[in-house]
Amino acid sequence: MIFTIFLPVLGGIICLILRERRRLCAGVALFATIINGSFLPFNLFEEFGMNLGNWGELGIRLTMDDLAIPFMLSTFLVMLAITLNSLRKNYDGFFYSLILIMYGTLNSIFLSRDLFNVFVTVELVSIISFILISYEKKGRQAWASLKYLLLSSLGLNFFLLGIGLVYMETGSFAMEGLNHVSSIASVLIFGGLAVKSGLFLFSMWLPDAHSNAPVEVSPILSGLVVKIDVYLSIRFVQYESFGWLKDEFVYIGIFSAIAGIILAVNSKDAKRLLAYSTISQVGFMMVTCDKASSWHGFSHAVFKTLLFLVVGNVSTRLGTKEYRDWSGRITRIEYLFLLVGSLAISGFPMTSGCVTKEVIMHDACCPWLKVLMMLSSVGTAMIFSKFIFLKPSKETGSLPIGTLAAYSILSVAIIVHGIVGFEIYMFESLLMIAAGVGLYFLYRKFMRPLPVFFERIDNSLAIYLIMFLFSIGFVIFST
Amino acid sequence: MTGNIIFYISVAGMLVGTIGMTLSRNIIKKILSLGIVETSINTLYTGISSRKSIIPPIVNGDFSIAYADPVPQAVIITGIVISFALLCLSLVFAIIIYNKYHTMDIGTIESNFEREKE
Amino acid sequence: MKAMKILGVIAAAVIFLFVVLQARIDLVFPEGLEEIIERTNIPNAVTAIYLETRLYDTIFEVIVFSITALGVTTLFSSLPRSAEGSQQVFGSVTVYSGGLAALSVTLFLYVVLEGHISPGGGFVGGVVLATGIVTYGLTSNFAKANSHYDRFKIKIMENASLLIIFSLVSFIVFFPETHARLLASGEFGEVLSGGLIPVLNILIGIKVYAGAWKMSSEFINRRGTL
């Protein structure tokens, strides 16, 4: 099990050293990813738990359990797709080394049961993503990186303060200690990580970073880096001191789901639209915050990667990010994969999106919540009608072999997951899609990009602090 | 006792840094404020170590003395490295932005971006 | 705009007020020092934790450092450099900074080699050495300071030490019992004790020095561009 951490990191270090030899590094990256993936079926279901170096309480504990399975699977699929897609491009060895080290580090986050180790690994992932976002050295990318860096570092310092309080109260950094810590420590831990979560108002750096990043990087950010906080929140809710978090997520999550949709519907830029849709989907996941949401995290990572890759490749080929200009110019094969991704995210039966989304909606606690969740589902269908009703050109078109393989692996994952998990009651999602399509045709004349008030750096910082205060207030009034 | 004083001072330092990050309009000042926050949190961890005693934990076989707690000061070395790395990276981004737009004022930069879009 | 900022400041103030009011500082004082010292068999408990009980954190820290050094170099690669001959030198500083650089090499060796006995360690040593050389480069002769990077093949040393650190860490993580036997065989308080810990200290020292020098020289190469 521990090889899933050490093997990619070793590959990354080799790429770091041999970074001038591009092809070799790409080969190492592909090889390490595939080896890791082929061990995954044996690893995922074994019982695993070890204290590194036999140090017991003093050391770092790694454990595998059910919650980590979807995240580790999605990490493998996303990394494989990205490596395949990047093969024909001109990335140097450093890019592959960053990707591989990120792969190992993400696996480490999903296994670790030590708060300080989580801090270090999360910071490493953040540093890698800062470098990756501005990999093409455009001014806009550097600005997005800097904004992300300032906000995320501030948030992680709050997290560090929180685990300092945990250490003072329990005498160790182990996660078991979270069963009885004071509420202020728990709220600092939640609030510090929330800046990376992608929830609306907590992390308004997200649209800029996700939409300006290079083609291969946006899927990593949206599929994996955002999922770190989803995973850790689901993990923390299991502990007693975080009982309040589940109640708070009902409000924050559904608010974020709706707000993300309102922003995305009005957006013209395809990548920006996907970034806003990430905000909405993360909110949707967080509403229940249990095992079902971790599986929605898996399916979201897969179809969002597919969408980001297709949209990124198409927009670099055509030279425009505005989806309306693609009409008639996008080839049939690209349209096919865009259609698969769009249908999956809107919850069409027999796709992964439908399965996980319906399970989450089924678990909703009260009627008003269910209505709002249906509304957000309708909204998602409305957003992605924009892609579904694009007009493909007459020619079939051809794709490079790596890109085709990446798209196909992701599509197969979507469809297999959709068929395996299908239940008959899930046909109700067809109704929601129909409603979304209808609303899209009614509303399409009035779509105007909304102002980016909250995305300015000062405002996003201030609103983050205010939402932090809101969380503290929530804890105080709920206990 | 020492630990308590360091704890309160560092929390105050974090507050100062956060306020600086919110109010300043210059990128470099924002980065420096972030540096203040990070230094404060690193100091706070040494404060956690020195709650019981301030004798450094270099033991010569005598366990009867109350030593300072070694764990927080050992882990925060990692934190210091990370804050150094973040500082370097943020300055690099600041230099890239300055070379493209020849200003450090965030209002100007952001209005530039919004105009570019239209 | 302005109201937003003021609200943010108020929120920050209230957050930290709650932290100060609700933090329970004197609650638990962890014990475990004795066990750590007895099993690692070295006097410096901080090094014992940094390189033995929580070694797993340290490998990520080393990776953070390498990635940042390379990332800074890569991101800077397209930016213009400042002119070579623009360095201003003051007479007396040149003398002192040369001596300081020599002193920092000695201090580096002492801090790194005795890191498991007295206060010190790889990270501190690397920073000391980098500070000495950067001071020399800034005040006396940057081209001369920069030349040692190629002359002593620092790049190869850096890469090799990264790979060796990773393999040693993997060894210690996978075979803790072997390393525990190695630790127990040393004499308590001697330089040649502590198993692989002094080796790790030296390698981390080289690694940190190389990364810090690389980053600083990139920044010095672009002085005045901000």
Q: Residue A269 gets which letter from DSSP?
A: B
> Are B88 and C79 in contact (CB < 8 Å)?
no
pLDDT at A479 over 80: no
Interval B33-87: pLDDT, tens = 999 999 999 999 999 988 888 888 888 877 788 888 889 988 999 999 999 999 9
Q: Where are the domains of chain A?
A: 1-113, 196-478
Compare all CA atoms of chain B with the CA of A164 and give the residue at the minimum distance: B45
Which ranges of A289-364 would DSSP assign to H, the alpha helix?
A: 291-318, 332-346, 352-362
The answer to whether position B86 is within a domain reads yes
| Chain C interface includes B29 (CB < 8 A) | no
Q: Which residues pair with B18 in a beta bridge?
A: none
Domains in chain B, number: 1
pLDDT at C130 over 80: yes
Q: Which residues in A134-168 are b (16+ Cβ under 10 Å) and which e?
A: bbebebbbbbbbbbbbbbbbbbbbbbbbbbbbbbb
| Chain B interface includes A457 (CB < 8 A) | yes
Residue A472 distance to chain C (closest CA, Å) = 8
The answer to whether position B11 is within a domain reads yes
Write out chain A residues lying below 8 Å of C27, CB-based: 168-169
The answer to whether position B36 is within a domain reads yes
Q: Across all residues in chain A, what is the average pLDDT?
A: 89
| Chain A interface includes C3 (CB < 8 A) | no
Listed by number, the residues of chain C in 121-140 with a beta carbon closer than 8 Å to a beta carbon of chain B are 121, 123
Compare all CA atoms of chain B with the CA of C226 and give the residue at the minimum distance: B95
| Chain B interface includes A161 (CB < 8 A) | yes
Predicted confidence at residue A306, as pLDDT, reads: 93
Return the CATH number at B94: 1.10.287.3510
Mean pLDDT along residues A85-93: 87
Contact A230, A297 (CB under 8 A): yes
pLDDT at C226 over 70: no
Interval A276-297: pLDDT, tens = 999 999 999 888 888 888 999 9
The answer to whether position B34 is within a domain reads yes
Residue whose C-alpha is closest to residue A318's, from A450, A207, A215: A215
Predicted confidence at residue A326, as pLDDT, reads: 87
Angle at A342 between CA A336 and CA A346, to 5 degrees: 145
pLDDT at C91 over 60: yes
pLDDT at A3 over 90: no
Write out chain A residues lying below 8 Å of C155, CB-based: none
> Best of A90, A115, A184, A241 to disrupt the C interface by mutation (most C CBs within 10 Å)?
A184
**Single-letter code of the amino acid located at A22:** R
pLDDT at A189 over 90: yes
Dihedral sign from CA coordinates of C190, C195, C200, C203: positive
**Single-letter code of the amino acid located at C79:** L
| Six token digits for residue B94 | 């600041």
Q: If you count them, how many residues does chain B have?
A: 118
Complex confidence, ipTM: 0.95
Contact C117, C42 (CB under 8 A): yes
Contact A308, A252 (CB under 8 A): no
Predicted confidence at residue C52, as pLDDT, reads: 86
Q: How confident is the model at residue C85 (pLDDT cuts 50, 70, 90)?
A: low
Q: How confident is the model at residue A180 (pLDDT cuts 50, 70, 90)?
A: confident
Cα separation values, C29 from A169, A305, C33, C163, Å: 9, 47, 11, 38
What percent of chain B has a predicted confidence (pLDDT) above 90?
A: 51
> Are B95 and C50 in contact (CB < 8 Å)?
no
Q: Could you give the maximum distance between any two Cα atoms of chain C, in Å?
A: 66
- Residues 6 or more apart whose Cβ sits within 8 Å of residue A376: A254, A257, A258, A261, A280, A283, A284
Interval C196-225: pLDDT, tens = 889 999 999 999 999 999 999 888 888 776
Predicted confidence at residue C77, as pLDDT, reads: 87
| Six token digits for residue A63 | 């454990």
The answer to whether position B60 is within a domain reads no
Interval A427-455: pLDDT, tens = 788 888 899 999 999 888 888 888 888 88
Q: Where are the domains of chain C?
A: 39-221
The answer to whether position B37 is within a domain reads yes
> Are A157 and B14 in contact (CB < 8 Å)?
yes
Residue A446 distance to chain C (closest CA, Å) = 27
H-run or E-run covering B104 = none
Q: How confident is the model at residue C84 (pLDDT cuts 50, 70, 90)?
A: low
> Are C159 and A16 in contact (CB < 8 Å)?
yes
- Residues 6 or more apart whose Cβ sits within 8 Å of residue A222: A210, A274, A275, A278, A301, A304, A305, A308
More confident residue, C165 or C183: C165
Q: How confident is the model at residue C185 (pLDDT cuts 50, 70, 90)?
A: confident
Predicted confidence at residue A351, as pLDDT, reads: 87
Compare all CA atoms of chain A with the CA of C65 and give the residue at the minimum distance: A124
Q: How confident is the model at residue C69 (pLDDT cuts 50, 70, 90)?
A: very high
pLDDT at A425 over 80: no
Predicted confidence at residue C189, as pLDDT, reads: 78
The answer to whether position B39 is within a domain reads yes
The answer to whether position B61 is within a domain reads no
Provide the residue range defining the domain that includes B99. Answer: 2-55+67-117
> Best of A135, A154, A158, A453 to disrupt the B interface by mutation (most B CBs within 10 Å)?
A154
- Cβ-nearest to C68 among A127, A171, A461: A127
pLDDT at B118 over 60: no
Contact A213, A131 (CB under 8 A): no
